[in-house]
């Protein structure tokens, strides 16, 4: 937008504040723990508080060699950003992976650990309350935290706010000259000073008025100053008057587009968002956004994105409520969500090659009926779009779910975003985002009593809990999923939930309960004739019985698993089941039986072409032969394993059929 001007006194105060003696030291008390120095820049929206904070950070950045982290705690629309999201973003900025579903305390502790040995700056923009900031504070005086807020943060000790008013007149005129050029200011310096005074020295108001003058080169600076001066008192402050000047000069279609921008999730706008909201072409929307950027109504970001200034959000929201009928607003929101769903489908289609799809059809062919404007040229472009739009996409999903009147669209949007993230990033990398999305699905499902969707969301959340070691939380969700699956009369969900409950108990080493729940899942599979599930569940039972030392039951379960895989003509599965049975026979003190079973498994692995399994079984045979007193035969089998695996002996490890 514009370069930073003025504020030399404020910058000097902030620099001096870094080294200022703390209140605890002055009073003779020793601080409980060393913490980062917190500097606060306080001012009303539009006062230039963020610009001052950024300018200050640039001045002192060389003293903090580990860089600058940035986060925003209030969305442009005024919504408070969840502390978990803010902390997660800072951790990701440091290159630290964050476990999905982690709470605020866990994430805050992780952030403090991550910055413990660093000397860096954390710039916290638009803090709404001290609790938000406290969760971000490093426990080291080597770091600096710079916060912007509308007022003082009384909950954080030893913070002295640098409170902003308007710019002094020379600085305000300089800022105006940056927008309209030195010539017009030099031609009538008194008019420029008068205009600066009418804007109250407020940078946001000066930016709007300067943008309007730049777009109207023949307009007189003195006339604009007079026009602002003559506006009715009820128009509001300097920012409101400057905004009114710009807004009323726009054509009617542009006015309507501007009024609808508060509907853009997270205040992030691109040509597709504006096009869908206003019901115009993408090209027309892009042209309008470029004009808005020139006028200071939006701020250009990167990759075709524009940010809605937070100081304008209340003014735009008031216009939206006064000028647009609720039905039209809901229709605009629905158009935007529908467009987002179509873009996500297109984005996902670019992620998978033709041979990677279930039907072998090139994903691009599935987009034949999609307008060119909604397509991506290649996978990289689609992935970049997903990455840059993810904050807006996540906010769109949250807002759609919170709305409550667009639940069908909300479910489609969340499902499309989940699939796009999983296909482009992989489930493991996308897990933190997926966790939040599955919680949104659960919200909709619970609100509408959609038991099948509720069960699916609970299972997905529980799986993510289990993968990150929160086994007890996973167990509770698996049980809730079982109840929802029963309410939906969904045998797949109930069977999956029962098996997962068993898996959670197995992780907790409660072998008795694990066997009980695997047995329940097996009974359902047997009743429904689901042979693949039967074989797998027999294997899981065999595994649990083995851990519990119940070798007789374990051998019966593995024998049943092998028989099940044989009926399915699943040779690798049968070989693995027999290999596990051989292991149990050896544990039970029957080495000759183990040797026979293991040889049978080796032959099946050879037929299946599974060299790793063959090699692992050869090693098992060698160990058994050693125990039977035949070292020569054991050496032969180890040599065979080496030939199969080359220089990768670690691959000899056999995983049980329950893995």
* Mean pLDDT of the residues in the chain: 88
For the beta carbon of residue 117, count every other beta carbon within 10 angstroms: 9
Nearest-angstrom CA–CA distance, 597 and 609: 18
Mind giving me the DSSP string for 144-173? Answer: EEEEEESS--TTSTT--EEE--PPPHHHHH
Pairing status of strand 306-307 against strand 299-300: antiparallel
User: Which residues fall within 8 angstroms of residue 489, CB to CB, at 6 or more apart?
Assistant: none
Strand partners, 38: 145
Is it the case that residue 405 has pLDDT exceeding 80? Answer: no
Do 45 and 310 meet the contact criterion of CB atoms below 8 Å apart? yes
Report how many helices (DSSP H) and strands (DSSP E) the chain contains, helices first: 30, 8
Burial (CB count <10 Å: 0-12, 13-18, 19+), residue 417: buried
Burial (CB count <10 Å: 0-12, 13-18, 19+), residue 566: middle
The end-to-end CA distance of the chain, in Å, is 56
Nearest-angstrom CA–CA distance, 573 and 223: 85
**Structure-token pair, residue 284:** 């027309």
- pLDDT value for 637: 81
Question: Minimal CA–CA distance to 620: which of 579, 657, 570?
Answer: 579
Indicate the DSSP class of residue 79.
P
Which pTM value belongs to this model? 0.81
CA dihedral 235, 240, 246, 252 (to 10 degrees): -70
Indicate the DSSP class of residue 66.
T
Beta strand segments in 289-337, E: 299-300, 306-307
Nearest-angstrom CA–CA distance, 309 and 245: 17
Indicate the DSSP class of residue 365.
G
Is it the case that residue 552 has pLDDT exceeding 50? Answer: yes
Confidence of residue 260 (pLDDT cuts 50, 70, 90): very high
Nearest-angstrom CA–CA distance, 353 and 197: 61
Pairing status of strand 121-127 against strand 68-72: parallel
Is it the case that residue 31 has pLDDT exceeding 70? Answer: no
Is it the case that residue 546 has pLDDT exceeding 90? Answer: yes
Highest mean pLDDT among 80-84, 320-324, 597-601: 320-324
Q: Which residue has the tokens 């809605």?
A: 308
Confidence of residue 22 (pLDDT cuts 50, 70, 90): low
Strand partners, 70: 123
Q: Dump pLDDT digits (tens) for 291-342.
A: 999 999 999 987 889 999 989 999 999 999 999 999 999 999 999 999 999 9
Confidence of residue 25 (pLDDT cuts 50, 70, 90): very low
User: Which residues fall within 8 angstroms of residue 576, CB to CB, at 6 or more apart?
Assistant: 601, 613, 654, 656, 657
- pLDDT value for 364: 61
User: Which residues fall within 8 angstroms of residue 632, CB to CB, at 6 or more apart?
Assistant: none
- pLDDT value for 358: 52
What is the side-by-side order of every strand in the sheet holding 306-307? 268-269, 306-307, 299-300
What number is the average pLDDT over the span 347-370? Answer: 66
What number is the average pLDDT over the span 186-190? Answer: 90
Nearest-angstrom CA–CA distance, 645 and 203: 70
Question: Minimal CA–CA distance to 272: which of 255, 288, 259, 256?
Answer: 288
Q: Dump pLDDT digits (tens) for 415-472.
A: 999 999 999 998 888 898 999 999 988 988 898 899 999 999 999 999 999 988 899 9
Give long-range contacts, CB 8 A cutoff, 24+ apart: 174-178. Answer: 174/5, 174/6, 175/2, 175/5, 175/6, 175/203, 175/206, 175/207, 175/210, 176/206, 176/209, 176/210, 178/2, 178/3, 178/5, 178/210
- pLDDT value for 233: 65
**Structure-token pair, residue 202:** 């407020």
Nearest-angstrom CA–CA distance, 199 and 228: 8
Is it the case that residue 192 has pLDDT exceeding 90? Answer: yes
- pLDDT value for 319: 94
What number is the average pLDDT over the span 494-515? Answer: 96
What number is the average pLDDT over the span 120-132? Answer: 91
Across 119-123, 372-376, 461-465, least confident range: 372-376
Question: Minimal CA–CA distance to 109: which of 136, 86, 82?
Answer: 136
3-state helix, strand, coil in the chain (%, to 5): 65, 5, 30
Question: Minimal CA–CA distance to 312: which of 326, 327, 296?
Answer: 296
Nearest-angstrom CA–CA distance, 486 and 497: 10
Question: Minimal CA–CA distance to 297: which of 204, 216, 172, 221?
Answer: 204
């Amino acid at each position: 937008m514009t370069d930073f001007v003025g504020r030399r006194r404020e910058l000097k105060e902030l620099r001096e504040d870094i080294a200022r003696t703390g209140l605890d030291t002055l009073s003779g008390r020793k601080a409980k723990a060393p913490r980062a120095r917190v500097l606060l820049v306080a001012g009303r929206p539009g006062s230039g508080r963020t610009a001052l904070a950024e300018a200050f950070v640039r001045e002192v950045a060389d003293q903090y060699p580990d860089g600058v982290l940035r986060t925003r705690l209030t969305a442009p629309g005024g919504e408070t950003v969840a502390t978990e999201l803010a902390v997660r973003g800072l951790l990701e900025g440091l290159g630290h992976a964050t476990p999905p579903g982690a709470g605020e305390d866990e994430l805050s502790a992780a952030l403090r650990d991550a910055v413990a040995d660093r000397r860096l700056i954390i710039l916290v923009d638009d803090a709404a309350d001290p609790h938000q900031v406290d969760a971000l504070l490093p426990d080291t005086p080597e770091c600096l935290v710079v916060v912007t807020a509308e007022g003082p943060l009384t909950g954080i000790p030893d913070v002295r706010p640098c409170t902003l008013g308007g710019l002094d007149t020379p600085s305000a005129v300089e800022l105006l000259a940056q927008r309209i050029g030195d010539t017009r200011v030099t031609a009538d310096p008194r008019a420029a000073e008068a205009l600066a005074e009418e804007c109250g020295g407020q940078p946001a108001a000066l930016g709007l008025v300067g943008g309007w003058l730049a777009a109207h080169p023949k307009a007189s600076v003195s006339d604009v100053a007079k026009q602002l001066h003559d506006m009715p008192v009820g128009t509001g402050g300097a920012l409101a008057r400057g905004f009114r000047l710009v807004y009323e000069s726009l054509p009617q279609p542009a006015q309507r587009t501007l009024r609808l921008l508060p509907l853009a999730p997270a205040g992030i706008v691109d040509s597709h968002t504006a096009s869908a909201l206003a019901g115009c072409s993408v090209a027309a929307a892009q042209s309008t956004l470029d004009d808005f950027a020139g006028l200071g109504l939006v701020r250009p970001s990167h990759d075709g994105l524009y940010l809605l200034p937070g100081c304008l959000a209340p003014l735009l929201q008031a216009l939206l409520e006064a000028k647009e009928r609720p039905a039209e607003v809901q229709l605009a929101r629905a158009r935007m969500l529908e467009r987002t769903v179509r873009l996500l489908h297109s984005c996902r289609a670019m992620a998978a090659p033709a041979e990677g799809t279930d039907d072998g059809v090139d994903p691009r062919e599935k987009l034949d009926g999609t307008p060119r404007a909604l397509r991506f040229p290649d996978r990289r472009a689609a992935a970049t779009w997903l990455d840059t739009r993810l904050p807006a996409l996540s906010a769109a999903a949250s807002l759609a779910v919170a709305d409550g009147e667009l639940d069908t669209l909300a479910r489609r949007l969340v499902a499309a975003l989940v699939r796009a993230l999983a296909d482009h990033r992989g489930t493991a990398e996308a897990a933190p985002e997926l966790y939040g999305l599955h919680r949104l699905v659960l919200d909709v499902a619970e609100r509408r009593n959609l038991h099948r969707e509720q069960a699916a969301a609970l299972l997905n959340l529980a799986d993510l809990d289990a993968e990150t070691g929160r086994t007890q939380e996973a167990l509770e969700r698996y049980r809730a999923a079982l109840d929802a699956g029963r309410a939906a009369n969904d045998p797949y969900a109930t069977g999956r939930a029962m098996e997962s409950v068993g898996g959670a108990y197995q992780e907790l080493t409660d072998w008795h309960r694990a066997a009980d729940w695997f047995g329940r899942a097996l009974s359902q599979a047997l009743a429904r004739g689901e042979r693949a599930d039967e074989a797998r569940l027999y294997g899981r039972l065999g595994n649990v019985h083995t851990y519990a030392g119940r070798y007789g039951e374990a051998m019966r379960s593995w024998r049943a698993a092998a028989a099940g895989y044989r009926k399915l003509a699943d040779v690798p599965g049968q070989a693995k089941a027999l290999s596990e049975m051989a292991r149990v026979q050896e544990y039970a003190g029957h080495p000759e039986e183990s040797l026979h079973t293991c040889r049978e498994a080796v032959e099946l692995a050879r037929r299946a072409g599974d060299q790793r399994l063959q090699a692992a079984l050869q090693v098992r045979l060698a160990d058994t032969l050693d125990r039977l007193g035949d070292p020569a035969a054991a050496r032969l089998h180890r040599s065979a394993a080496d030939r199969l695996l080359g220089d990768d002996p670690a691959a000899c490890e056999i995983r049980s059929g329950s893995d």
